[in-house]
Structure 1
Amino acid sequence: MAEDGQEDLEERRKRLASELGARRKSQDGESRKAAGSSANDRREMSKGLKLSSEFMAAIFVGFMLGYLLDKFAGTSPWGMIGFLLLGFGAGVLNVLRSVGYVAEPEDRLKKDGK
C-alpha cells in the first residue's frame, strides 16, 4: 500500500512539474511583452515631454518679448498681449509640425534637397 502511494505521489509530482514549466514559459513571454511595452511607454512619454516643453518655451519667449517691449516702449499691456498671442500661435505650430500634421516650409525643403 505504501508503494501505491509513492507511485501516485511521483505521478502527481511529474504532472505538477510539467504544469509549472508551461506556466513559467507563458509568464516569460508576458514579461517580455511587458518590457517591450514599457520601452514604448517611455518613448511616448519622452515625446510628450518634448512637445509640451516646446509649447511652453514658445509661450514664455512671447511673454518675455512682450514684457520687454512694454517696459522700454511704454505700451503697457498691449505688447505683452500681442506677443503672448504670437508665442501661443508659434507653440501650436511647432507642436503640429513635430507631430506631422503641418508640413515643413517649402524653402527649407528645397535647401535640404540641394
Structure 2
Amino acid sequence: MADDREESLEKRRAQLEAELATKRAEAGVEHASEAQAEVSRRGYAQAMKLSSEFIAAILVGAFLGWFLDYSVGTAPWGLIVLLLLGFCAGVLNVLRSAGVVAHPLDDKDDKK
C-alpha cells in the first residue's frame, strides 16, 4: 500500500514538473514578446518626439514670417525667409535630438 502511494506521488510529481516546464517555456516566450514590444514603443516615442520638434520649428518660422509680413508689409519675403529658417532649425533640432550633431554647450564643457 505504501508502494502504491509512493508511485502515485511520483506520477503526480512528474506531471507537475511537466506542467511547470510548459509554463516556464510560455513565460519565456511572453517575456521575449514583451521586451520586443518595449523596444517598439521606445522607437515610436522617439519618432513622435523628432517629428513634433521638426513640425513645430517649421510652424513657428511660418507664423513669425507671416506676422512680419503682416506688420511690416514685406509680403511674401518674410514668410519665405523665416519659413526656410524654421525648416533649417527643425532639421538641426532633429539632428541634435538624434545625437548626430553635438549641442552647442557640449563644446564649452569639454574645454574645462
Q: TM-score normalised by the shorter chain: which range applies?
A: 0.7 to 0.9
**Which residue number corresponds to residue 45 of structure 2?**
46
Q: How far 1:71 sits from its partner (Å)?
A: 0.2
The answer as to 2:22 corresponding to 1:27 is: no
Q: How far 1:25 sits from its partner (Å)?
A: 2.2
**Which residue number corresponds to residue 8 of structure 1?**
none
Q: How far 1:23 sits from its partner (Å)?
A: 3.3
Amino acid at match of 2:45: S
Instruction: State the aligned residue count.
Output: 101
Q: Deviations over 1:47-100 (max 9, x none)?
A: 111111110110011001100010011111111011001000000010011111
Bigger shift: 37-46 or 52-61? 37-46
Gaps (5+ residues) in structure 2? 1-10
**Which residue number corresponds to residue 4 of structure 2?**
none
* TM-score with structure 2 setting the length: 0.75
Moved over 4 A (4+): 14-21, 110-114
**Which residue number corresponds to residue 5 of structure 1?**
none
Instruction: Give the secondary structure class of the aligned counterpart of 1:75.
Output: coil
The answer as to 2:80 corresponding to 1:59 is: no
Query: Partners in 2 of 1:17 and 1:36 — Cα distance?
Result: 28
Taking only aligned residues, the RMSD between alpha carbons, in angstroms, comes to 2.2
Gaps (5+ residues) in structure 1? 1-10
Query: Partners in 2 of 1:81 and 1:16 — Cα distance?
Result: 75
Q: Deviations over 1:12-60 (max 9, x none)?
A: xx99876654433221101011111212221221111111111011001
Bigger shift: 79-88 or 42-51? 42-51
Between the aligned residues of both structures, percent identity stands at 46
